[in-house]
Amino acid sequence: MGEFTTTIGHRLDQAYKNLQEARSAGDDYLADTFTAEIEDLRRLATDNGISL
């Protein structure tokens, strides 16, 4: 499960960076999209026993 955990971590890192960029640009729709992606990734991690 190491690769899966690493992938989730990388995707979360990128989603948080993208969220910050969207907020800085004032793009509320894109910010909402990245917020939803983060929530989904966090839920996926929790469902698979990955502590964040």
Residue 34's nearest CA partner among 49, 50, 10, 14 is 14
Does the pTM exceed 0.75?
yes
Return d(Cα 47, Cα 25) in angstroms, integer.
33
Q: How many domains, in total, are found in the chain?
A: 1
Residue 17 structural domain? 2-46
Return the half-sphere exposure (C-beta side, CA atoms, 13 A cut-off) of residue 6. Answer: 3
What phi and psi, each to the nearest 5 degrees, are found at residue 29?
A: -65, -50
- Asked whether residue 48 carries a pLDDT value surpassing 70, the answer given is yes
pLDDT band for position 19 (cuts 50, 70, 90): very high
- Asked whether residue 52 carries a pLDDT value surpassing 90, the answer given is no
Average confidence (pLDDT) over 26-44 = 98
* Any domain includes 26: yes
- Asked whether residue 17 carries a pLDDT value surpassing 90, the answer given is yes
